[in-house]
Chain A
Protein backbone atom coordinates (compact mmCIF):
# COMPACT_ATOMS: atom_id res chain seq x y z
CA UNK A 1 0.00 0.00 0.00
CA UNK A 2 1.21 3.49 -0.78
CA UNK A 3 1.74 5.86 2.08
CA UNK A 4 4.02 7.91 4.27
CA UNK A 5 6.11 6.28 6.97
CA UNK A 6 7.51 8.23 9.86
CA UNK A 7 9.93 6.81 12.37
CA UNK A 8 10.41 6.52 15.21
CA UNK A 9 6.95 6.89 16.71
CA UNK A 10 8.43 8.18 20.00
CA UNK A 11 11.79 9.85 20.48
CA UNK A 12 13.59 11.26 23.49
CA UNK A 13 16.29 13.87 23.24
CA UNK A 14 18.96 14.74 25.76
CA UNK A 15 20.15 18.29 26.26
CA UNK A 16 22.61 19.35 23.58
CA UNK A 17 21.81 16.43 21.32
CA UNK A 18 20.76 16.50 17.69
CA UNK A 19 18.11 13.98 16.66
CA UNK A 20 16.82 13.04 13.22
CA UNK A 21 13.24 12.14 12.37
CA UNK A 22 12.71 9.96 9.33
CA UNK A 23 10.01 10.45 6.69
CA UNK A 24 9.67 8.18 3.65
CA UNK A 25 6.90 8.15 1.05
CA UNK A 26 6.14 5.77 -1.80
CA UNK A 27 3.37 7.87 -3.33
CA UNK A 28 5.68 9.32 -5.99
CA UNK A 29 4.86 12.78 -4.65
CA UNK A 30 7.04 15.74 -5.55
CA UNK A 31 6.32 17.91 -2.53
CA UNK A 32 7.06 17.05 1.09
CA UNK A 33 6.52 19.00 4.29
CA UNK A 34 7.34 19.00 7.98
CA UNK A 35 4.96 20.42 10.57
CA UNK A 36 5.09 20.82 14.30
CA UNK A 37 1.99 20.60 16.51
CA UNK A 38 1.96 21.59 20.16
CA UNK A 39 -0.81 20.36 22.49
CA UNK A 40 -4.13 22.01 21.70
CA UNK A 41 -2.59 24.02 18.87
CA UNK A 42 -2.70 24.00 15.10
CA UNK A 43 -0.02 22.85 12.67
CA UNK A 44 2.98 25.09 12.06
CA UNK A 45 5.17 24.64 8.99
CA UNK A 46 8.85 23.99 9.65
CA UNK A 47 10.27 23.24 6.19
CA UNK A 48 8.95 22.16 2.83
CA UNK A 49 10.43 20.82 -0.37
CA UNK A 50 8.82 21.10 -3.78
CA UNK A 51 11.42 19.02 -5.58
CA UNK A 52 14.56 16.96 -4.98
CA UNK A 53 17.62 18.95 -3.86
CA UNK A 54 15.53 22.00 -3.04
CA UNK A 55 13.78 23.04 0.15
CA UNK A 56 12.40 26.20 1.73
CA UNK A 57 12.02 27.46 5.28
CA UNK A 58 8.56 27.54 6.71
CA UNK A 59 7.30 29.70 9.54
CA UNK A 60 9.36 28.16 12.38
CA UNK A 61 12.57 26.83 10.78
CA UNK A 62 14.99 28.01 13.46
CA UNK A 63 16.66 25.09 15.24
CA UNK A 64 15.75 22.62 12.49
CA UNK A 65 17.43 21.38 9.33
CA UNK A 66 16.35 19.14 6.45
CA UNK A 67 17.69 17.49 3.33
CA UNK A 68 16.02 16.20 0.18
CA UNK A 69 18.52 13.99 -1.61
CA UNK A 70 15.90 11.53 -2.81
CA UNK A 71 12.32 12.04 -3.90
CA UNK A 72 11.09 9.48 -1.39
CA UNK A 73 12.86 10.83 1.68
CA UNK A 74 12.74 14.09 3.66
CA UNK A 75 14.46 13.70 7.04
CA UNK A 76 14.20 16.40 9.68
CA UNK A 77 17.00 17.09 12.18
CA UNK A 78 16.09 18.79 15.42
CA UNK A 79 19.28 20.49 16.51
CA UNK A 80 20.44 21.50 19.96
CA UNK A 81 19.61 25.08 18.96
CA UNK A 82 15.91 24.22 19.21
CA UNK A 83 15.35 24.94 22.89
CA UNK A 84 11.78 23.73 23.11
CA UNK A 85 11.57 20.65 20.88
CA UNK A 86 8.84 18.78 22.74
CA UNK A 87 5.99 18.43 20.24
CA UNK A 88 4.22 16.17 17.77
CA UNK A 89 6.02 16.22 14.41
CA UNK A 90 4.08 15.46 11.25
CA UNK A 91 5.45 14.78 7.80
CA UNK A 92 3.22 15.21 4.76
CA UNK A 93 3.44 14.94 1.01
CA UNK A 94 1.38 16.10 -1.93
CA UNK A 95 1.32 15.46 -5.66
CA UNK A 96 2.94 17.42 -8.42
CA UNK A 97 4.33 20.70 -7.14
CA UNK A 98 2.05 22.74 -9.38
CA UNK A 99 -1.07 20.67 -8.83
CA UNK A 100 -2.97 22.89 -6.46
CA UNK A 101 -6.01 20.68 -6.18
CA UNK A 102 -4.15 17.74 -4.73
CA UNK A 103 -4.44 17.43 -0.97
CA UNK A 104 -1.71 16.58 1.50
CA UNK A 105 -1.32 13.13 2.97
CA UNK A 106 0.21 12.70 6.40
CA UNK A 107 2.38 10.17 8.15
CA UNK A 108 1.28 9.08 11.61
CA UNK A 109 3.75 11.37 13.35
CA UNK A 110 6.67 11.31 15.76
CA UNK A 111 6.33 12.45 19.38
CA UNK A 112 9.53 14.07 20.59
CA UNK A 113 10.24 14.74 24.25
CA UNK A 114 13.19 16.06 26.22
CA UNK A 115 14.78 13.73 28.77
Chain B
Protein backbone atom coordinates (compact mmCIF):
# COMPACT_ATOMS: atom_id res chain seq x y z
CA UNK B 1 0.00 0.00 0.00
CA UNK B 2 1.31 3.45 -0.87
CA UNK B 3 2.23 5.80 1.96
CA UNK B 4 0.10 8.58 0.52
CA UNK B 5 -2.79 8.17 -1.91
CA UNK B 6 -4.64 10.75 -3.93
CA UNK B 7 -7.30 10.67 -6.62
CA UNK B 8 -5.37 11.63 -9.78
CA UNK B 9 -8.38 13.41 -11.32
CA UNK B 10 -8.57 15.45 -13.43
CA UNK B 11 -11.13 17.60 -11.72
CA UNK B 12 -12.65 19.87 -14.35
CA UNK B 13 -14.56 22.76 -12.78
CA UNK B 14 -15.88 26.13 -13.96
CA UNK B 15 -14.50 29.39 -12.66
CA UNK B 16 -16.06 30.33 -9.35
CA UNK B 17 -16.74 26.75 -8.30
CA UNK B 18 -15.76 25.18 -5.01
CA UNK B 19 -13.67 22.03 -5.27
CA UNK B 20 -12.29 19.65 -2.66
CA UNK B 21 -9.48 17.10 -2.76
CA UNK B 22 -8.81 14.35 -0.27
CA UNK B 23 -5.67 12.46 0.49
CA UNK B 24 -5.16 9.41 2.70
CA UNK B 25 -1.98 8.32 4.43
CA UNK B 26 -1.15 4.86 5.70
CA UNK B 27 1.15 5.43 8.66
CA UNK B 28 -0.45 6.64 11.87
CA UNK B 29 2.97 7.85 13.08
CA UNK B 30 2.88 10.62 10.47
CA UNK B 31 3.53 13.95 12.11
CA UNK B 32 3.36 16.80 9.61
CA UNK B 33 1.20 17.42 6.59
CA UNK B 34 1.41 19.78 3.66
CA UNK B 35 -0.23 20.68 0.37
CA UNK B 36 1.98 21.65 -2.55
CA UNK B 37 1.04 23.01 -5.94
CA UNK B 38 2.91 21.96 -9.07
CA UNK B 39 2.47 23.67 -12.41
CA UNK B 40 3.28 21.82 -15.62
CA UNK B 41 7.03 21.31 -16.02
CA UNK B 42 7.81 23.29 -12.86
CA UNK B 43 8.94 22.48 -9.36
CA UNK B 44 6.43 21.90 -6.53
CA UNK B 45 5.72 24.96 -4.40
CA UNK B 46 4.38 24.93 -0.87
CA UNK B 47 0.72 25.93 -0.80
CA UNK B 48 0.08 25.47 2.90
CA UNK B 49 0.87 23.39 5.93
CA UNK B 50 -2.02 21.47 7.49
CA UNK B 51 -2.61 21.82 11.22
CA UNK B 52 -4.63 19.61 13.51
CA UNK B 53 -7.25 22.27 14.10
CA UNK B 54 -7.61 23.01 10.41
CA UNK B 55 -6.39 26.19 8.81
CA UNK B 56 -7.33 28.66 6.14
CA UNK B 57 -5.36 30.87 3.78
CA UNK B 58 -7.61 33.08 1.70
CA UNK B 59 -9.66 30.86 -0.59
CA UNK B 60 -7.88 27.70 0.57
CA UNK B 61 -8.86 25.61 3.59
CA UNK B 62 -6.99 22.53 4.80
CA UNK B 63 -8.29 19.95 7.26
CA UNK B 64 -6.68 17.01 9.02
CA UNK B 65 -8.50 13.97 10.37
CA UNK B 66 -5.99 11.89 12.31
CA UNK B 67 -8.52 9.25 13.31
CA UNK B 68 -9.34 8.46 9.69
CA UNK B 69 -5.87 9.33 8.42
CA UNK B 70 -6.85 11.77 5.73
CA UNK B 71 -6.28 15.37 4.88
CA UNK B 72 -8.33 17.59 2.63
CA UNK B 73 -7.94 20.78 0.63
CA UNK B 74 -10.91 22.98 -0.22
CA UNK B 75 -10.62 25.70 -2.85
CA UNK B 76 -13.41 28.27 -2.98
CA UNK B 77 -14.19 30.62 -5.86
CA UNK B 78 -11.82 28.81 -8.23
CA UNK B 79 -9.71 30.94 -10.56
CA UNK B 80 -8.22 29.98 -13.90
CA UNK B 81 -4.81 30.39 -12.26
CA UNK B 82 -5.65 27.61 -9.78
CA UNK B 83 -5.24 25.07 -12.60
CA UNK B 84 -2.34 22.88 -11.52
CA UNK B 85 -1.55 19.56 -9.87
CA UNK B 86 -1.97 19.50 -6.10
CA UNK B 87 0.37 17.25 -4.13
CA UNK B 88 -0.36 15.89 -0.69
CA UNK B 89 2.81 15.47 1.40
CA UNK B 90 3.32 13.73 4.72
CA UNK B 91 6.33 13.78 7.02
CA UNK B 92 6.93 10.93 9.46
CA UNK B 93 9.11 12.05 12.23
CA UNK B 94 11.42 11.79 15.16
CA UNK B 95 14.96 11.98 13.83
CA UNK B 96 13.78 10.88 10.46
CA UNK B 97 12.95 13.88 8.35
CA UNK B 98 11.64 12.05 5.30
CA UNK B 99 8.75 13.24 3.19
CA UNK B 100 6.19 11.08 1.40
CA UNK B 101 4.47 12.48 -1.67
CA UNK B 102 1.17 11.57 -3.22
CA UNK B 103 1.06 11.34 -7.00
CA UNK B 104 -1.03 14.49 -7.20
CA UNK B 105 -4.54 15.55 -8.16
CA UNK B 106 -4.90 17.52 -11.36
CA UNK B 107 -7.27 20.49 -11.37
CA UNK B 108 -8.48 22.21 -14.53
CA UNK B 109 -10.48 25.40 -14.01
CA UNK B 110 -12.43 26.35 -17.13
CA UNK B 111 -13.76 29.78 -18.11
Binding site for B on A (CB under 8 A): 31, 33, 35, 41-43, 45, 48, 50, 88, 90, 92, 94, 97-109
Which residue of the partner chain B has the closest CB to A95? B97
Main SS class of interface, B: strand
Q: How many A-B residue pairs have CB under 8 A?
A: 57
Which residue of the partner chain B has the closest CB to A101? B32
Most buried by B among A45, A48, A90, A101: A101
Q: Which residues of B sit under 8 angstroms from A102, Cβ to Cβ?
A: 32
**Chain B nearest CB, measured from A37 CB (Å):** 9
Q: How far is the CA of A26 from the CA of B105 in the complex (A)?
A: 31
Which residue of the partner chain B has the closest CB to A48? B98
**Chain A nearest CB, measured from B13 CB (Å):** 21
Interface size class of B (residues with CB under 8 A): 20 to 34
Q: How far is the CA of A105 from the CA of B102 in the complex (A)?
A: 16
Are B43's CB and A99's CB within 8 A? no
Binding site for A on B (CB under 8 A): 31-32, 34, 41-46, 49, 87, 89, 91-95, 97-99, 101-104
A42-B103, A99-B97, A100-B97 known; A90-B44 Cβ under 8 A: yes
